[in-house]
């Protein structure tokens, strides 16, 4: 697949294509690095993987059974061989077999991926909504509004997920009784987990947005627009919000990663199936292939999300960038 | 805040055209609480149809606030009051925001300085200009685009369809200023307010923009032209109002004000213009240059004494032998996107004899600043070399050059950006002094640790404090400023601190890159006088870079004119300015706005 692309790049067809090639190469590198780091990191977990396979470190196992398991999973091979075998399997998309659940990791992870993605994407959307409303409300309304906005954002950004989740459960499930404390199949079950993840993120996004919104509203092009007869709302929608969104879009790639790690806590608290809970369970029982599999899939999702945010940035800010072309020469 | 005569709304174009386009009586604008001084304190003027009134003043005089009040855009929190404010004899005093919006763009247009920032950098100009049409007409999108192309064409942007889809960042300075004016003129408003429309533009572009305003005026548009530059406004203004401290201190026809200035402020501004003033003559009254009494003759004697820097051996040889600074065949190319090659500096050679000033003049993009960086050896040249005091300089490895760095000082245009904003003036200067301490020639990057702690810290600090005081005094700043941060200083004070910092290492050569371009003309005059005094006192050799021909003519012994990376003409200041031989120099000089 790389062959025709390199030829195109050599012909210098389009810098955009060259950028794409560089993107893919970067993504492959990141995946390799993640696979390598996780492979060696899980070796540092004390205990014998073969024991974990046969029911955990406490279980009574015969040396013969252990040897058989080691041979079956290739654990008797030198470390380097195991590493290369693992890379080979990953390259073909084979994530291996779970020690604890006795099923292939690929289908397992895929079955859990959907729930977490829905959670993360919805949280990102809700966080954007809250941040936008807060930023536009608190900007251009005097110092007090700005301080209130900024204060709310700082508090929101500082809230830990576990505290927020339990507080929300106490308020909305136990006192008010309007929302279920654990995840249910219908949409109502999604509300509290999404809000838990969205509020701290909205704090971060809101801070960035409000600052760039303030800068944009004070810039000469806004004065020019007003001098043409543009209304406050027109200034906001046609000019300022777009400038305000740029840094928040860039931040969203990172935000997505943090949402997935936040999902570990939230899925556990709300008893919601998903990658986070799968990862936590796998770590608890030292189910190495599942840990590696989840990490690989999360890394891949993160890479894809970064590409999406870059595309969104390019769409919102079509100005040509310096590094778009020059870096290779 | 009275709401008299809000006749607005109706189609006012039907009535007979009143002769007065704008009348302002006793306009007052204040910000903050009522106790604070007003920015505008009782300003009255009138502009007739087809007339151009220039409001001239220095920064802080209230001219921009006055201009914005005409569009009801004095800003959030502004307290605006007036006995009368009317557009075409219709009062706009106390109009609601909605009523104002209907008038802005249709009855009055605004052109701001710096079109790069005044047009939304994310939107193509066709949409920026089309906004006026969208807001005030019922034209559909295709008709709007057609009209925008017409307006751009009328604004002198040939082949508008080529440029309409571009954003301000993709246009040249002249093109985007035309686009900005086109946006203001899209609906042909009877009144145009232009706030510093030519500031920061190259002289040739400046001339084109003034032509454009003149054409609009000829079509009957009344213009209020705000500027700090008397020479610029003299080209198109019918009348001039001089503002100072929130008041109009003098009004009259352009000829009256320029030839017979009655107010001291006007006379001061006129005297400060450096054009045609012989080298060495003062631009500002003497007391303005040095704000504090001098420490006496002692520092006059001590200042020229050089620290024992190894590379100064050349200084002992007869001075005529070697120039202070010599550039031989300098070249620098940059690679652009898509493999294009840009010759920023192309075979540039010049000499700065000791104790004299070489002025390099050119428009933006001519390679002046790249030349300065090459001379400072901050950028490596592709070809050629720079020699300092007869010694090799640019060819040395940076390790060896560092010992000679104290011999060269640099003063920049945007000094504020070159200061660490967290440091006070005292700390800035102390760092500069410590960095240049003669006992540590290889100071480079370890000055901070040495100056604040470690061995001999206290002694060094004391010596440093004395030198800091001396430096501050030599640039005419009061010691009270030592604990201020650069952001709290005025533009002129900042530039003085910048000069003091450049002098900290007792340099023999000073590279000044547009040192006065961001300053008001009277402050510019003081800084130029200061540089002139320092040069004579400290026997400095100056490389002075500017786009301003008047400034260059005033400060330079020798002049080099740069264009497209090359030096197209060199000679003494008199030769170049009175008998230019190169067509480019001739065109440049012809474009300079001059006082009649």
- pLDDT of B339 higher than 80: no
- pLDDT of B454 higher than 50: no
Q: Cβ of A118: how many Cβ atoms within 10 Å?
A: 14
Residue written as token pair 């950098």: B121
Q: Could you read off the pLDDT of B344-361 as tens digits, one per residue?
A: 899 999 999 999 999 999
Give the whole-angstrom CA distance, residue A183 versus residue A188.
8
Region B27-39: mean pLDDT is 81
Cβ burial, residue B595 (10 Å; 0-12/13-18/19+)? middle
Provide the b/e sequence for B524-553 (b: ≥16 CB within 10 Å): bbbbbbbbbbbbeebebbbbbbbbbbbbbb
Strand order through the sheet with B239-244: B108-111, B191-195, B222-227, B52-56, B239-244, B247-253
Region A146-168: mean pLDDT is 91
Q: Tell me the helices (H) and strands (E) count for chain A, helix number first.
A: 15, 0
Chain-chain contact of B113 with A220 (C-beta, under 8 angstroms): yes
Task: Sketch out chain B's domains with CATH numbers.
Answer: 1-107+190-272 (3.40.50.300), 118-188 (no CATH), 287-591 (3.40.50.300)
Query: Residue B127: how many CA atoms within 13 Å on its side-chain side?
Result: 12
Lowest mean pLDDT among A258-272, B311-325, B420-434: B311-325
CATH fold, domain A106-326, is MetI-like fold (1.10.3720)
* pLDDT attached to residue A163: 92
* pLDDT attached to residue B280: 61
Give the whole-angstrom CA distance, residue B224 versus residue B46.
10
Q: For chain A, give the mean pLDDT.
A: 82
CA dist list (Å): B117 to A215, A223, B121: 12, 10, 7
Q: Tell me the helices (H) and strands (E) count for chain B, helix number first.
A: 25, 21
Beta strands in A80-125 (DSSP E): none
Residue written as token pair 């794409």: A20
Residues in chain A: 329
Region B315-328: mean pLDDT is 68
Identify the bridge partners of residue B560 per DSSP, sorted by sequence position.
Answer: B360, B570
Give the whole-angstrom CA distance, residue B117 versus residue B161.
22
Q: Does A242 touch chain B (CB under 8 A)?
A: yes
Higher pLDDT among residues B169 and A37, named by residue: A37
Residue ranges of B 67-86 with Cβ closer than 8 A to chain A: 68, 71, 73, 76-77
Percent of chain B with pLDDT strictly greater than 90: 36
Region B327-332: mean pLDDT is 92
Region B30-57: mean pLDDT is 87
Region A184-209: mean pLDDT is 88
- pLDDT of B15 higher than 60: no
pTM over 0.80: no
- pLDDT of B444 higher than 50: no
Q: Could you read off the pLDDT of B87-139 as tens digits, one per residue?
A: 988 898 888 889 999 999 999 999 988 777 889 989 999 999 999 999 998 88
Give the whole-angstrom CA distance, residue B438 versus residue B308.
7
* pLDDT attached to residue A144: 87
Q: Which residues contact A252 (CB under 8 A, 6 or more apart)?
A: A124, A128, A205, A305, A309, A312
Give, in degrees to the nearest 5, the angle at Cα B288 between B283 and B291.
145
Give the whole-angstrom CA distance, residue A37 versus residue A32.
9
* pLDDT attached to residue B278: 57
Chain-chain contact of A226 with B73 (C-beta, under 8 angstroms): yes
Residues of B in contact with A140 (CB under 8 A): 76
Q: Could you read off the pLDDT of B358-401 as tens digits, one per residue?
A: 999 988 888 888 999 999 999 889 999 999 998 889 888 888 88
Q: Could you read off the pLDDT of A11-45 as tens digits, one per residue?
A: 444 566 777 788 888 888 999 999 889 888 877 77
Chain-chain contact of B131 with A225 (C-beta, under 8 angstroms): yes
Region A170-198: mean pLDDT is 83
* pLDDT attached to residue A58: 61
Q: Could you read off the pLDDT of A214-227 as tens digits, one per residue?
A: 889 888 899 999 99
* A-B contacts (CB, under 8 Å): 92
Provide the b/e sequence for B15-41 (b: ≥16 CB within 10 Å): eeebeebbbbeebbbbeeeeeeebbbb
Provide the b/e sequence for B472-503 (b: ≥16 CB within 10 Å): bbbbbbeeebbeeebeebebbbbbbbbbbbbb
3-state SS, B9-29, equals: CCCHHHCCCCCEEEEEEEEEE
A229-234 contact pairs (CB < 8 A, 24+): A229/B101, A229/B102, A229/B103, A229/B104, A229/B105, A229/B106, A229/B132, A229/B135, A229/B136, A230/B101, A230/B131, A230/B135, A231/B101, A232/A140, A232/B97, A234/B135
**How is residue B364 written in tokens?**
């933006």
**Residue A258: pLDDT band with limits 50, 70, 90:** confident
Q: Does A228 touch chain B (CB under 8 A)?
A: yes
CA dist list (Å): B185 to A69, B179, B435: 83, 10, 54
Q: Could you read off the pLDDT of A105-125 as tens digits, one per residue?
A: 888 888 888 889 999 999 999
Cβ burial, residue B52 (10 Å; 0-12/13-18/19+)? buried
Residues of B in contact with A326 (CB under 8 A): 335, 337
Measured in angstroms, the CA of B51 and the nearest CA of chain A are apart by 21
- pLDDT of A268 higher than 50: yes
Lowest mean pLDDT among A62-66, A108-112, A289-293, B472-476: A62-66
Q: What is the DSSP string of A233-285?
A: HHIIIIIIHHHHHHHHHHHHHHHHHHHHHHHHHHHHHTT--SHHHHHHHHHHT
Residues of B in contact with A142 (CB under 8 A): 76-77
* pLDDT attached to residue A21: 84
| Phi–psi pair at B26, nearest 5 degrees | 55, 50
Torsion angle defined by CA atoms of residues A168, A171, A173 and A176, in that order, rounded to the nearest 10 degrees: -150
Percent of chain A with pLDDT strictly greater than 90: 20
Q: Does B121 touch chain A (CB under 8 A)?
A: yes
Q: For chain B, give the mean pLDDT.
A: 82
Give the whole-angstrom CA distance, residue A194 versus residue A121.
9
Lowest mean pLDDT among A6-15, A240-249, B59-68, B231-240: A6-15
Per-domain residue ranges of chain A: 21-91, 106-326
- pLDDT of B406 higher than 60: yes
**Residue B286: pLDDT band with limits 50, 70, 90:** low
**How is residue B149 written in tokens?**
């192309």
Region A227-246: mean pLDDT is 90
Q: Best of B92, B111, B115, B118 to disrupt the A interface by mutation (most A CBs within 10 Å)?
A: B118
**How is residue B492 written in tokens?**
């002129």
């Amino acid at each position: 697949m790389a062959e025709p692309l390199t030829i195109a790049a050599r012909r210098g067809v389009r810098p955009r294509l060259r950028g794409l090639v560089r993107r893919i190469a970067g993504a492959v590198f990141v995946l390799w690095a993640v696979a390598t780091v996780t492979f060696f990191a899980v070796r540092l977990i004390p205990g014998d993987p073969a024991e974990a396979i046969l029911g955990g470190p406490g279980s009574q196992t015969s040396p013969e059974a252990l040897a058989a398991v080691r041979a079956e999973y290739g654990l008797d091979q030198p470390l380097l061989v195991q590493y290369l075998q693992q890379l080979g399997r990953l390259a073909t998309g084979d994530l291996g077999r779970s020690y604890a659940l006795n099923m292939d990791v690929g289908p397992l992870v895929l079955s859990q991926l959907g729930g977490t993605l829905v959670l993360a994407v919805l949280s990102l959307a809700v966080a954007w909504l809250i941040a936008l409303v807060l930023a536009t409300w608190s900007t251009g309304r005097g110092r007090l509004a700005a301080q209130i906005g900024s204060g709310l954002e700082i508090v929101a950004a500082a809230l830990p997920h576990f505290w927020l989740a339990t507080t929300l459960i106490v308020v909305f499930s136990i006192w008010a009784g309007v929302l279920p404390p654990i995840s249910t199949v219908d949409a109502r079950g999604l509300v509290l987990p999404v809000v838990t993840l969205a509020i701290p993120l909205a704090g971060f996004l809101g801070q960035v947005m409000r600052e760039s919104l303030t800068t944009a509203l004070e810039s000469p092009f806004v004065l020019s627009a007003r001098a043409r007869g543009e209304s406050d709302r027109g200034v906001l929608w046609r000019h300022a919000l777009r400038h305000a969104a740029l840094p928040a879009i860039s931040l969203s790639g990172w935000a997505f990663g943090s949402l997935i790690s936040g999902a570990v806590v939230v899925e556990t608290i709300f008893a919601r199936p998903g990658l986070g809970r799968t990862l936590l369970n796998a770590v608890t029982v030292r189910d190495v292939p599942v840990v590696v599999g989840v990490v690989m899939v999360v890394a891949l999702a993160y890479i894809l999300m970064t590409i999406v945010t870059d595309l969104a940035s390019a769409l919102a800010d079509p100005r040509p960038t310096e590094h778009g072309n020059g870096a290779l020469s | 805040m009275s709401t008299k005569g809000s006749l607005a709304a109706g189609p006012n174009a039907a009535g007979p055209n009143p002769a007065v386009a704008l009348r302002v009586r006793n306009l007052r604008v204040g910000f903050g609480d009522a106790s604070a001084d007003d920015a505008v304190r009782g300003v009255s003027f009138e502009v007739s149809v087809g007339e151009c009134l220039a409001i001239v003043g220095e920064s802080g005089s209230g001219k921009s606030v006055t201009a914005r009040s005409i569009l009801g855009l004095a800003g959030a929190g502004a307290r605006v009051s007036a006995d009368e404010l009317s557009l075409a004899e219709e009062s706009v005093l106390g109009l609601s925001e909605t009523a104002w919006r209907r008038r802005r763009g249709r009855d009055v247009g605004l052109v701001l300085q710096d079109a790069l920032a005044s047009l939304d950098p994310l939107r193509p100009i066709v949409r920026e200009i089309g906004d006026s049409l969208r807001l005030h007409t019922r034209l559909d999108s295709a008709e709007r685009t057609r009209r925008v192309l017409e307006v751009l064409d009328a604004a002198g942007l040939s082949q508008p369809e080529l440029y309409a889809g571009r954003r301000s960042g993709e246009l040249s300075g002249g093109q985007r200023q035309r686009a900005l004016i086109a946006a203001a003129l899209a609906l042909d408003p009877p009144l145009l307010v232009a706030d510093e429309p030519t500031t920061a533009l190259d002289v040739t572009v400046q001339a084109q923009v003034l032509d454009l305003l003149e054409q609009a005026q000829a079509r009957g548009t009344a213009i209020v032209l705000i500027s700090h530059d008397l020479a610029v406004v003299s080209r198109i203004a019918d009348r001039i109002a001089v503002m100072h401290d929130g008041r109009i201190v003098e009004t009259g026809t352009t000829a009256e004000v320029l030839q017979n200035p009655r107010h001291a402020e006007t006379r001061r501004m006129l005297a400060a213009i450096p054009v045609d003033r012989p080298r060495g003559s003062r631009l500002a009254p003497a007391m303005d240059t040095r704000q504090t009494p001098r420490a006496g003759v002692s520092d006059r004697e001590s200042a020229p004494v050089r620290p024992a820097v190894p590379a100064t051996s050349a200084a002992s040889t007869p001075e005529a032998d070697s120039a202070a600074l010599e550039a031989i065949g300098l070249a620098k190319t940059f690679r652009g996107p898509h493999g294009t090659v840009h010759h920023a500096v192309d075979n540039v050679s010049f000499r700065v004899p000791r104790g004299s000033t070489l002025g390099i003049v050119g428009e933006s993009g001519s390679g002046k600043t790249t030349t300065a960086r090459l001379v400072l050896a901050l950028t490596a040249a592709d070809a050629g070399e720079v020699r300092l005091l007869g010694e090799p300089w640019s060819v040395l490895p940076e390790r060896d050059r560092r010992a000679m760095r104290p011999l060269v000082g640099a003063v920049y245009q945007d000094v504020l950006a070159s200061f660490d904003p967290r440091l006070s003036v005292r700390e800035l200067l102390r760092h500069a002094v410590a960095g240049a301490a003669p006992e540590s020639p290889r100071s480079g990057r370890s000055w901070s640790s040495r100056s604040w702690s470690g061995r001999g810290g206290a002694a060094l600090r004391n010596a440093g404090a004395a030198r800091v005081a001396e430096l501050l005094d030599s640039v005419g700043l009061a010691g009270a400023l030592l604990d201020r941060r650069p952001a709290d200083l005025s533009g002129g004070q900042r530039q003085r601190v910048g000069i003091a910092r450049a002098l900290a290492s007792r340099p023999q050569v000073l590279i000044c890159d547009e040192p006065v371009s961001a300053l008001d003309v009277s402050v510019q005059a003081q800084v130029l006088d200061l540089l002139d005094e320092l040069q004579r006192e400290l026997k400095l050799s100056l490389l002075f870079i500017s786009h301003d021909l008047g400034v260059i003519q005033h400060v330079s012994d020798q002049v080099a004119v740069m264009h497209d990376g090359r030096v197209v003409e060199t000679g003494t200041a008199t030769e170049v300015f009175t008998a230019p031989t190169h067509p480019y120099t001739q065109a440049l000089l012809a474009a300079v706005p001059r006082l009649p």
